[in-house]
Amino acid sequence: MASHDIELESIAHPIARTGYTTTPGDHTPQHDDFQPEEGVQEFSLPPVDGGKDAWLFLAACFAVEALVWGFPFAFGVFQDYYSNNEPFAGSPNIAVIGTCSMGVMYLAAPLMMGLCRMMGRWARWTSLFGLFTMCLSLAMSSFSTTVPHLIATQGIIYAIGGGIAYCPCILYMDEWFVQRKGLAYGIMWSGTGLAGVVLPLLLEALLHSFGFRTTLRIWSGILFALTMPLAFFIKPRLPYSATSHRKPFNLNMFLVPTFWLYQLANVVEAMGFFLPGIYLPTYARSALGAASYSSATTVLLVNVASVFGCVAMGWFIDRFHVTTCILLSTVGATVGALVIWGLSSSLPLLYFFCIMYGLFAGSYTSTWPGVMSDVVRKGEATGSGYIDPSMVFGWLAAGRGIGNVISGPLSENLIQGLPWKGDTAAYGYGSGYGSLIVFTVELSQGSGGA
């Protein structure tokens, strides 16, 4: 498996003064028969795929994932508050705040990964700097009086800090997990789904009780208290001397045609993935007459289901080829949107679609470890040279960001004037959101077809 090859690449440069040796097929130092020479210091590396250090690293990454990405995914709560309360009520471009906080983190991922790799032995401490920047940006945003202030602080500065804080999680994941790499990534990425359930409810209650200024200050303090201790567990497994040969801003993946096929599928999937989460509450209210709480439950169900979907897909990606896993995600999301959402005539049926969509579409990013491994393996096979898997991740994240940015304007045009309303017998397709449903279906199919 390609992930096995990545680990070998990581430890294929033993340093004589450390006193450990490695052989092909081994992931940990050999101690049973190895006798260090006199005067040579010996130490052992922590085990991969398990052990206290590996699980503490993964737990810290899960928490950072939830707290860094969960806040932008919960921006809808702030958008509703800003749109209906002073001093921002009636202001244009409120939605740009959320677009910046999420989009900048996605689009800047290659740059952040390259800079983090350039930091060398100091890269592990970038998490602390990034988390502090996030907390500072939220505290600054509590003093905002205009929407541009919020775009700069809660949007752009938060995203820069979040991207910096998140990089070491990806950079060191390949060192701590090899055979269970997909499962580890799936567990980490499920943090966003869990945060997508908890944070909207918490932030809604805080906004209702204290207003946005106090809420942002409270959340900044909570974020600081929770994440700063965790950052000390986000550390490399290998000594810097074993990874110093990895060059920053490695772009060799661009020489591999397979990478471009995966990236095309990734962008297409992202263009459709975010749409149900944006429009499901509105659809439930306008088409099915659901109350406010019942309509908000649609997004909560998608997020809950994505927690289980990410972990399950991570388990699958360790055992099956990446194209098989992508096909599974694609078929599940397509059938859910085409049949269940398109033919939904009641709230329970729509809830069933939310669960199915979260399980399959929400787990798509958990196929990325398989994509990274496949691109690295094929790059080596075609003589493209060493490919840094963390940079492959960075460009996949950027592709997802492109799809996210494009989907917003496209979706607004698709539902403008509620086309198809009353023109078809099927309730979902004839609700005015039929073109949006078909668009989601086509993009889900396209991601698998690509």
Nearest to 251 by CA among 114, 104, 117, 55: 114
pLDDT tier for residue 18 given thresholds of 50, 70 and 90:
very low
Closest CA to 404 of 23, 52, 58, 106: 106
Q: What is the mean pLDDT of the chain?
A: 82
pLDDT band at 62 (very low <50, low <70, confident <90, very high): very high
For CA atoms 29, 33, 39, 43, the dihedral sign is positive
| Average pLDDT of the segment spanning 8-37 | 39
Answer yes or no: is pLDDT of 120 > 60: yes
Asked if the model's pLDDT at residue 74 lies above 70, the reply is yes
C-beta separation of 275 from 328 below 8 A: no
Q: What is the DSSP letter of 16?
A: G
Q: Look at residue 138 and tell me whether its pLDDT is greater than 90.
A: yes
pLDDT-based confidence at residue 425 (cuts at 50, 70, 90): very low
- pLDDT given for residue 448 in this prediction: 56
Q: Residue 326's pLDDT band (boundaries 50, 70, 90)?
A: very high
Residue 426 confidence (pLDDT): 57
Of residues 44 and 113, which shows the higher confidence score? Answer: 113
Confidence of residue 263 (pLDDT cuts 50, 70, 90): very high
Contact 399, 27 (CB under 8 A): no
Q: 435: Cβ–Cβ under 8 A, 6 or more apart, which residues?
A: 414, 415, 419, 420
Q: Is the dihedral of CA 203, 205, 206, 207 positive or negative?
A: positive
Unique residue bearing structure tokens 């309360």: 85
Dihedral sign for Cα atoms in the order 345, 347, 349, 355:
positive
User: pTM of the predicted model, to two decimals?
Assistant: 0.81
Mean pLDDT score, 186-210: 90
Provide the token pair at 339.
């049949």
Identify the sign of the CA torsion 357, 359, 362, 367: negative
CA 3 to chain centre: 20
> For 108-152, what is the HEC assignment?
CHHHHHHHHHHCHHHHHHHHHHHHHHHHHHHHHHCCCCCHHHHHH
| Least confident residue range of 56-70, 232-246, 383-397 | 232-246
For tokens 């600054």, the residue is 140
Do residues 353 and 165 lie in contact, with contact meaning Cβ atoms separated by under 8 Å?
A: no
Express as a percent the part of the chain with pLDDT over 90.
Answer: 39
Instruction: Give whichever of 197-201, 213-217, 424-428, 432-436 has the largest mean pLDDT.
Output: 213-217
Share in percent of the chain as helix, strand, coil (round to 5): 75, 0, 25
Contacts of 82 (CB under 8 A, 6+ apart): 88, 89, 91, 94, 97, 147, 150, 212
Q: How many Å apart are CA 168 and CA 173, to the nearest integer?
A: 8
Sorted by sequence, the CB contacts under 8 Å of residue 318 that are 6+ apart come out as: 179, 180, 181, 182, 183
Helix axes of 368-381 and 2-11: crossing angle, nearest 10 degrees:
70
pLDDT over 80 (residue 419): no
Task: Give the mean pLDDT of 309-332.
Answer: 93
Residues 224-237: pLDDT tens digits? 998 888 888 998 88
pLDDT digits (tens, 9 = 90+) for 264-305: 999 988 888 887 777 788 788 877 888 877 887 888 898 999
pLDDT in tens, 336-390: 888 888 887 788 888 999 999 999 999 999 999 999 999 999 998 888 888 889 9
pLDDT at 35: 45
Q: At a CB cut-off of 8 Å and minimum separation 6, what does 381 contact?
A: none
Mean pLDDT calculated for residue range 239-249:
75
Q: What is the pLDDT of residues 92-114, one digit of tens each?
A: 888 788 888 888 899 999 999 98
| pLDDT (mean) for 312-331 | 93
% of the chain with per-residue pLDDT over 70 = 82
Cis amide prior to 87 (ω within 30 degrees): yes
